[in-house]
Structure 1
Amino acid sequence: MAAERLVVVGGDAAGMAAASRARRLRKPDELEIVAFERGRFTSYSACGIPYWIGGDVGERDDLIARTPQEHRERGIDLRLHTEVTELDLDGQRVRTRDRDGRGQWTGFDKLVLATGARPLRPPLDGIDAPGVHGVQSLEDGAALFDALEQQESGAPAGREPRAVVVGAGYIGVEMSEALVRRGYRVTVLDRAEQPMTTLDPDMGALVREAMCGMGMDVRTGEAVTGVLTDGRGRARAVATEEGEYPADVVVLGLGVRPETSLAEAAGLPLGDSGGLLTDPTMRVRGRGDVWAGGDCVEVLDLVSGRTRHIALGTHANKHGQIIGANVAGDYGTFPGVVGTAVSKVCDLEIARTGLLEQQADELGLRWVSTTVEATSRAGYFPGAAPMHVKMLAEVRTGRLLGVQIVGREGAGKRVDIAAVALTARMTVEQMTGLDLGYAPPFSPVWDPVLVAARKAVSDVRAHAL
C-alpha cells in the first residue's frame, strides 16, 4: 500500500511542529511528509528577534530551535526557498515556485496551512525605501541587524544615531528598547492615544511614562504620512501630520494580519480579521483534508465566545502539535484562548489577559473596573517594587473579565493567575480564596492580584445595591 502524502505550507512553529509530531506517530512508509518554506530558516523564535537585536541573545542561530538539516534527518522532505503560489483543493495539489522561478505541482492527501502573518505596511510614500525595516521573520531581523551594524561602524565619532519606530505595540515597544540599548536616540510614533493598545489607555499611560523616563521621545496621536528620503533614495526622516522626525533607521511595528491570500483564493472560510476558521481539531471548516494553525488562523476566545486573531508562538506550537496528531490518526483539540500576553520595555513588565474595557462594551457587558497599586514583594523586603493591577469584573455575577498588570520585576508573570481564573470562569470572589504561594521575597501576604480581586468584590457589590 502506497504511503499517504502530507504537504505542509510554512516552515516555522505551527508547520514544523505539525510535521514533527506526525513523523513521530507515523513511519515514512506510512506517511510521506513534504514541507515548503519560502525563506531560509525554520523553527525559529520570531519573538526573540528584539532581544537578539538588543544584545540579550548572543547569536542569530540561538533563536533557531531546529535547523532544516535536523528536520531532514528526522524524515521530513523540507524544501527551502520554495514558495507555494496556488492551492488546487479539488485536485489535491499545490503549485510551487523555487528560487530559480521554476514551477511545479505537488499532490497531497492531507494539507497543512501554516502561512503565518504579514506585517502591516501602509501604502505611504517612501515606506519601501532602503533603511525602512519590518521585523516579522528571521530574515527581517537579520537584515535589520546587518543594517544597524553597518550604520554604527560608519557613524561619525560623537554623533548619536537616530531611530524612528512607527507603532507602539509589542514589537514597537520591544524594538524601541533594543535600539536604546544599542545607543540610538529613539522616537516612537503611534496614532493611538497611548502606547500598547492591547491595554486600556490608563494602563498604557504608565507604559508611556516609563518609556519617556528611559529617554525615548514618545509621540502619540500622530498619524504617519510618509517616509522622506535623501538623494540616494534612503530613508532620512518620518513625516507625520505634526512634523518630521530625522532617522538613520526606521523600524515598523504596526502589527500583523493573517497571511491567508492563498486560502482566500482557494475559497476557504475566513473570519472577520481575515484568519482561517477551523474546528477544535484545527481542521479547516468544511474541508476533510485541510488543517491550519499558527498566525494564519482565528481562535476561539473563551471570554467573549467569539473568534479572534492572536499571533503568538505559544498558540502556534500548540496548534502544530494538535494538527500533527490528527493528521497521523491520533486525536487532539485546541480549546481556545483567553488572550494572555506579556512583554517588557527595559525593566518595566507589561501583561494582560481577557477583555479590555472597549471589548467588554462591544459585547454589551456591564462591568466594573478596579485598579490597585501594590508591591511585588513584602514592603519591608529589599527590592520590593510597585505594580499596578487593573481588574474588570461583570456586574451582578462578579465573573472575572480581564486583568492588566504594569510594574517592575515580578509583575508580568502574575498575569498567569488571572489567565487560569479566566479559563475556569471564576468570579472575583472565588479568586480571593486562591491558595497562592507566599514568602516575603516573592509576595506580600496578600498577592497584588488578590488585592485587586478583593477590591473588585467590593465594587461588584456596590453596583448591586
Structure 2
Amino acid sequence: MPNTETTLPADPSDAPRRLVIVGGVAGGMSAAARARRLSEAAAIIVLEQSPYVSFANCGLPYHLSGEIAERDDLLLHTPESLRASLDLDVRTGHRAAAIDRAARTVTVTTADGSYSLPYDALLLAPGAVAVRPPIDGLDHPAVHALRTVPDVDALRDRVDQALAHATGSRPPRAVVVGAGFIGLEAVEALVTRGFEVDLVELTDHVLPPLDAELAPLLADELTAHGVALHLGVSATSVVDAGPVATSVPPGASGTDHPSSASRPADASGGQVTVTLSHGAALDADLVVVNVGVRPASDLARDAGLDLGARGAIRVDADHRTSDPHIWAVGDAIEVRQAVTGEAGPVPLAGPANRQGRRAAESMLGHRTTPQAAVLGTAIVRVFGLTAAVTGASQASLVRAGIEHEVVHLHPNHHAGYYPGASAVHLVASFAPDGRLLGAQAVGREGVDKRIDVLATALRAGMTADDLAELELAYAPPYGSAKDPVNMLGFVAQNALDGTMPQWQATELAEVMASTLVLDVRSAKERTAAHLPGSLHVPHTELRARLAEVRAAADGRPISVHCASGVRSYLATRVLRGAGLDGRNLSGGWLTLQAVHPSLSA
C-alpha cells in the first residue's frame, strides 16, 4: 500500500462537479461535510440504504441500558438538517446496487424502482456487516444484533417484553454470544436493565484483543456482577424452549447462575434454549450475537475493484481504489497496522472519520495528507473497570515475528497518599531499540488518560527514554510526580539496558525446573499463596541472608518475584550487586496468577 503524498490538480475547473457518496454515518458523512466546506460548487449526493444517514452507533449500547434516555439523541442529523446546513442531497432508503465504471454511473434501487445516477467522483463508504456464525436458529425472533438503530429498537422491544413477563422468582435472562467490545457493552446494558446474563466466547478469555494476563481482571468484574462466563465454547443452536427449559449439565458451563437450572418458559412463549458446543443448554428470553464484522465490499467486488486477502477494498494513500474515479473509506477498506504492517480492515469510528476527510480533499483536487497507518486504539467500560488498547498486542507481535520486550506494572492512577488511589494495570511492548510497539491498560480510574498519551507516543515513534522524560500534568488528585507513563518508561529502560533482567509469567514451568525461585514478599502474603519449592526471604532481609540464597541457588539463576514487581526489582539489584544472576518477574504475583489462575486457589 503506497504511503507517499499525492498532489492532485488544484484548478477548480478540474475538480469533480458531481460527488456521489455511498453510505453515511462516520466515513461517508465526514467526507460529504468536508467536501462542502472545500467547495460550494460541487453537487454532493449521499446514498444511504437505511432510514438513518447520521447516527451515533457507538452510543447504541448506552441507549439499550437507558443511560441515553432519548432515542433521538442518537440521530445526529437528518436529510433535512444536512440540506439546510451543508446543502447536501441526502437520499435515505436508496441502495447502490451496481457500478458501471466505464459509464461512471451507479444503479440505485428504492422502494419505488431504480434509476441510474452519474458521477464524476464516487466514494464508497458502505461500512461493515455482522458476521453470521454457524448457529442453527440464528434467524429466530429472539436473536438480535446491536449495530444499527433498527437493531437497538428491536432489542429494546424484546427487553421490555421480557421485563413485563418477569417475576420475582424468574428474572429475565439473556445470552450474549461474543465477548468483544460490543458484546461487553451489551452485557453491561442488559445487567443494568435487570437481566441475568450468560456470556459465550469462543476464545479462552473475554475481550480477545486484550493480552491474556489482563483479561482475568475483566472476567472477575463480570462475575462480580453476576455474569456467567462460558469461555472456549461456541453457541451451536437456538430453539424454542419447551414447557420447562433444559437444565444445564452440572459443571458443564463453569460459572452458571444457580437459577439457570430448570425454569418455566414465560407466558408469551418467548423463551429459547441456546445449546453450546460442549453440551450445555442455557434458557433465555433473548439472545444477542456480536461475533465480529466483515467489510461490506460486495458492491466494490462486483464492480471489479481490487480487494485484499480479507475482502476489504484496497486503497492508496489518498483513499483511491484501483479505479482512479472511485475512492473508499471506513470499515470496508484495507488499512495498514502501524506497528506490524499487517493489512486488513479496522472497524473503528475515529479512523473512518479521518479517512472521510482525506478522501474528500483528494476528490476535490486538494493536496492531501498521506494516509496514516492505524494503531487500533480502542476503549471499553465493563461495569466499574475500563480496558483500553493501542498499537500491537503481544499476540500480533509474535504473529509478525517482531522481537520485543514486554513489561508489566501496576501503579496507582494518582498519588497514593491522596484518597481514592486505585491501580492502573499496564502492559507494554518495546522493540530492542526502545521504541514503543503497543500498550494496554485496565483499571478503575485514569486508564483513558494513559492510553491516549501512549497512543500519541506511538504515533510519534517515541522510545522508553522518551516516555521516561515526558512532562505530564501533576497534582495529587490527578496523577503522581512519577506518572504511570513515566514509570512504564523507567521499567522498560531497566529491562532493555540490562539493569533489570526479567522473566515472564509465561515462562513459569521452565523457571521452576531450572532456577531458584526467590519470593521476597512478606510472610503474610506468602501464607495466602506461593510457588512450591520457592525460597522465602523478605526483601528487607535479603542483604543479611545472601549467603543462604547463594547456597540455595548452587550456581543456578535466581528468579525473583514479589506482588507487583517493585520489591523484587530492588532484590534483583541486590543480588546482581553481589555477583548473583538475578532476574525479576515482570508484573509480579499479580501478573503470575492472572496467567496461571490455579495459583489463586
Q: Secondary structure at the match of 1:106?
A: strand
By how many angstroms is 1:230 displaced?
4.0
Q: CA deviation at 1:188?
A: 0.3
Q: Deviations over 1:220-240 (max 9, x none)?
A: 111221212247996602211
Q: Distance in 2 between matches of 1:173 and 1:37?
A: 29
| Secondary structure in 2 matching 1:432 | helix
Equivalent residue number for residue 594 of structure 2? none
Task: Decide whether the 8 Å contact of 1:403 with 1:418 is kept in 2.
Answer: yes
Q: 1:21 aligns with which of 11, 34, 39?
A: 34
Equivalent in the alignment of 1:78: 90
Residue 316 of structure 1 is matched in structure 2 by 352
Counterpart Cα distance in 2 of 1:442 and 1:403: 21
Give the whole-Å Cα distance in 1 for the aligned partners of 2:72 and 2:95: 23
Alignment of 1:195 with 2:195, yes or no, is: no
Q: Are 1:54 and 2:90 an aligned pair?
A: no
1:117 aligns with 2:128: yes
- Residue 216 of structure 2 corresponds to which residue in structure 1? 205
The counterpart of 1:431, out of the listed 467, 487, 490, is: 467
Paired AA for residue 184 in structure 2:
V
Paired residues, number: 460
Tell me the amino acid that sits aligned with residue 300 of structure 2.
A
Q: TM-score, normalised by structure 1?
A: 0.94
Question: Cα deviations across residues 153-184 of structure 1 (Å, max 9, x unaligned)?
Answer: 34345531001100000000111000010000
User: Are the aligned partners of 1:342 and 1:349 in contact in 2 as well (CA < 8 Å)?
Assistant: yes
State the alpha-carbon separation in 2 of the partners of residues 331 and 136 from structure 1.
35
Counterpart of 2:409? Answer: 372
Letter in 2 for 1:14: G
Note if contact 2:435-2:462 (Cα within 8 Å) is conserved in structure 1.
yes
Counterpart contact for 1:406–1:412, Cα < 8 Å? no
1:276 to 313, 329, 337: 313
Residue number among 283, 296, 303 corresponding to 1:246 in the alignment: 283
Q: Kindly, what percent of the aligned residue pairs are identical?
A: 37
Matched, 1:10 2:26: no
Task: Give 1:170's aligned amino acid.
Answer: F
2:274 and 2:283 in contact (8 A); partners too: yes
Distance between the aligned counterparts of 1:92 and 1:412, measured in 2?
Answer: 45
Q: Do the aligned partners of 1:19 and 1:76 also contact (CA within 8 Å) in 2?
A: yes
Q: How far apart, in 2, do the equivalents of 1:171 and 1:37 lie?
A: 23
Is the 1:130–1:233 contact (alpha carbons within 8 Å) kept by the matching residues of 2? no
How far has the Cα of 1:287 moved from its partner? 1.9
Equivalent position of 2:6 in the other structure: none
Question: Does the alignment pair 1:340 with 2:374?
Answer: no
Aligned partner of 2:492 among 438, 456, 465: 456
Structure 1 residue 24 displacement after superposition: 2.2
Q: What's the counterpart of residue 382 of structure 1?
A: 419
Residue type at the aligned position of 2:465 = E
Whether contact under 8 Å (1:342, 1:413) holds in the other structure is no
Per-residue CA deviation, residues 401-451 of structure 1 (Å, 9 max, x unaligned), is 111100002223310111111111111122111111111101122112222
Partner residue of 2:107 out of 95, 118, 122: 95
The answer for the alignment partner of 1:145 in structure 2 is 156
Runs (4+) of structure 1 exceeding 6 A deviation are: none
Distance 1:237 1:277, change over 3 A: same
Q: Does 1:64 align with 2:100?
A: no
Q: Deviations over 1:68-117 (max 9, x none)?
A: 211122322211111111111122111121124x1222111110100000
Contact 2:16 2:120 in 1 (8 A): no
Letter in 2 for 1:179: L
Distance 1:366 1:59, change over 3 A: same
Counterpart secondary structure, 1:375 = coil
SS of structure 1 residue aligned to 2:430: strand
Is 2:312–2:332's contact at 8 Å kept on the other side of the alignment?
yes
Counterpart residue number, 1:131: 142
Asked whether the equivalents of residues 56 and 75 of structure 2 are also in contact (C-alpha less than 8 Å), the reply is: yes
TM-score, L = length of structure 2: 0.74
- Unmatched runs of 5 consecutive residues or more in structure 1: none
Paired amino acid for 1:404: Q
CA contact (8 A) 1:258 1:296 kept: yes
Cα separation, 2, equivalents of 1:65 and 1:413 = 27
Distance 1:401 1:270 in 2: 28
What does the per-residue CA deviation read over 1:249-279, in whole Å, with 9 as the maximum and x for residues that have no partner?
1011211111101111111112232211211
User: Following the alignment from structure 2 to structure 1, what is the Cα–Cα distance between the partners of residues 81 and 334?
Assistant: 30
Look up the SS of the partner of 1:94 in the other structure. strand
Distance in 2 (CA, whole Å) between partners of 1:450 and 1:362 is: 28
SS of the residue corresponding to residue 202 of structure 1 reads coil
* Alignment equivalent of 2:395, drawn from 337, 353, 358: 358
Structure 2: give runs of 5+ residues left out of the alignment. Answer: 1-12, 243-267, 503-580, 582-601
- In the TM superposition, residue 3 of structure 1 has moved relative to its aligned partner by 7.9
Distance 1:94 1:9, change over 3 A: same
Would the aligned equivalents of 2:348 and 2:376 in 1 still touch at CA under 8 Å?
no
Amino acid at match of 2:136: D
Distance 2:406 2:168 in 1: 51
Residue pair 2:426, 2:439 contacting (<8 A) in 1 also: yes
Distance 2:130 2:417 in 1: 46
- Within a 5 Å distance, the mapping from 1:393-408 to structure 2 comes to 393-395=430-432, 397-408=433-444
Cα deviation, 1:291-341, whole Å, max 9, x if unaligned, reads: 111111122222123323211111111111222222223232332222211
Partner of 2:181: 170
Partner of 2:296: 259
Q: Give the Cα separation in 2 of the matches to 1:366 and 1:336.
A: 20
Matched-pair contact (CA < 8 Å) for 1:52–1:60:
yes
Displacement after TM superposition at 1:354 (Å): 1.0
Q: Secondary structure at the match of 2:76?
A: coil
